[in-house]
A = this chain, B = another copy of it.
Amino acid sequence: MNRKTIKELKEIVGAGHLVTAREDLMCYSYDGTGMEYMPSAVVFPGSASEVCRIMEIAGRERFPVIPRGAGTGMTGGALAVEGGLVMAMSRLDRILEIDAENQVAVVEPGVITGRFQETVRRQGLFYPPDPASQAFCTMGGNVAECSGGPSAVKYGVTRDYVLGLEVVLPSGKLIRTGVRTAKGVVGYDLTRLFIGSEGTLGIVTKIIVRLLALPTSTRTYLVLTDSLRQATELVAEILKSGILPKTLEYMDQTALQVVNEHLPLSLPENTRALLLVEVDGDRGSTEEQGSRLLALLADRKTYPGILATRQAAGESEAAELWKARRSISPATFRLRPHKISEDVVVPKTAIPTLVAFTEKLARELDLVILTFGHAGDGNIHVNIMADRGDAAEWQRAGKAKKLLFEQVIALSGTLSGEHGIGITKAPYLSLEIEEESLELMRKIKRVFDPDNILNPGKIFTTAQEKP
């Protein structure tokens, strides 16, 4: 990007909305992975038509454009791995419409997910996708990664709520996909092709989502066990009993330790795992589900590992428990300065096997590995802690990651439930996806982006992690 191009871009967005100073670029050089790649410039478009004009210039000059939400991604999707122009969507942050009668909303990509949820909640409406980073992450980033969170076990992920999109193609042309109605099957499903494409096919400039009525009742339950196996085995049992919890999360002992100060309860000394079960719906339903859950858990003969079971004492305790749950990921850095964080998914019945495997890996490779996450849908967060400065340890961590992925595939699982591939998983993509499918995907990429200017180096390449 030469000086003339920078000038041209500034003319589009206004001089104040493009930065090139090193200290400014720094802020947009990293993401949730902790890796860093410096872009040449960062632009802050103020409208879809500005995005179109920027893409026209990028196409002419052939520089990479990397769309960026809040940079909370866990696989490097927002990193400028080949340099170029980071396009920060933070100015496109308007909630354009909340149509309460039809339970539909239209937002710009820079809207913070948590803010959107709070806004619709005040109108008695509910937008379920709830990534742990919801206080910071954006709706556009959620679409790019098809984000999910604890409530996915009952409510699904971003894909299940997006009805339609407005997207600027790499060519600079703007299209609208999908519908704003509950159903729609007209033409190929471009909407869901964009969702989870990690910003490689187009830049989302508008998102139409469906909303639900806000459930009127929620109950949160805590289960402590003296073994991780007991906790993970309970997951399938709870779901089999006909309860469909809003969330069914677990934390292993190490996860509990790192968030100990946030926990609103003191744990018995032999606690090895905690299950967090939330049921929601109308009052009749949460009452029935709650009783059914307590009845199941009362059977200590079948489940001898249960140490304690109780309902959270009111909303405030439930809120504290959730705060603790969401703080695990950042809090892990107390253990080791870096980590490899994976969000693998296995069938629910395979969770105990997977978790036992990670414990074995930790022992055999002399690593700290903690697991926690969305047990209800088999989406387990495996955090392999290590110090990048310690070459031997970092190498063992990399080995653990590869062995983990192989085990996940052997268990009929998938490498990513919500974080995507980005660059950190790209070298492992072929473990899961056969060459013929990859070739189709690469051809689809070329249909949308023949010159490979949009977020190049993601998903399909084997860009190495920097040490």
Contact = CB atoms under 8 A, between A and B. Distances in A.
Interface of A: 99-104, 124, 145-146, 148, 152-153, 156-157, 159-160, 169, 173-177, 179-190, 192-193, 195-197, 201, 212-213, 216, 236, 239-240, 242, 244, 281-285, 287-289, 345-349, 374, 376-379, 412-421, 425, 429, 432-434, 436-438, 440-441, 443-445, 447-448, 459
Contacts of A438: 187
A388 to B, nearest CB: 26
Nearest to A431: B186
B185 A240 contact: no
Nearest to A191: B192
A432 B164 CA distance: 13
Contacts of A179: 345, 413-414
Nearest to A189: B192
Given A189-B159, A189-B193, A447-B443, A183 B345 contact: yes
Given A183-B152, A440-B190, A236 B195 contact: no
Contacts of A347: 99, 101-102, 104, 180-181
A281 to B, nearest CB: 6
**Taking the full assembly, how many copies of this chain does it contain?**
2
Contact of A417 (B184, B288, B349, B459): B184
A169 B425 CA distance: 27
A342 to B, nearest CB: 12
A441 B242 CA distance: 41
A186 B376 CA distance: 20
Given A175-B437, A190-B437, A184 B101 contact: no
Contact of A180 (B100, B177, B216, B412): B412
A184 B287 CA distance: 32
Contacts of A376: 182
A346 B179 CA distance: 10
A184 B419 CA distance: 9
Contact of A421 (B104, B187, B281): B187
A103 B243 CA distance: 13
B447 A440 contact: yes
Contacts of A379: 181-183
Contacts of A288: 282-285
Given A184-B414, A189-B195, A284-B287, 19 more contacts: A148-B183, A156-B160, A157-B185, A160-B160, A175-B434, A175-B437, A180-B347, A181-B378, A183-B414, A186-B414, A186-B420, A187-B421, A188-B441, A189-B197, A193-B193, A212-B244, A282-B285, A284-B289, A443-B447
Given A183-B418, A347-B102, A348-B101, A196 B189 contact: yes
A175 B346 contact: no
Contacts of A175: 434, 436-437, 440
A429 to B, nearest CB: 7
A349 to B, nearest CB: 5
Contacts of A124: 242
A35 B220 CA distance: 56
A411 to B, nearest CB: 9
A196 B185 contact: yes
19 contacts: A99-B347, A100-B240, A103-B239, A152-B182, A157-B183, A157-B185, A176-B434, A177-B437, A181-B379, A183-B378, A185-B419, A185-B420, A187-B433, A187-B459, A189-B189, A189-B197, A192-B192, A212-B244, A284-B284
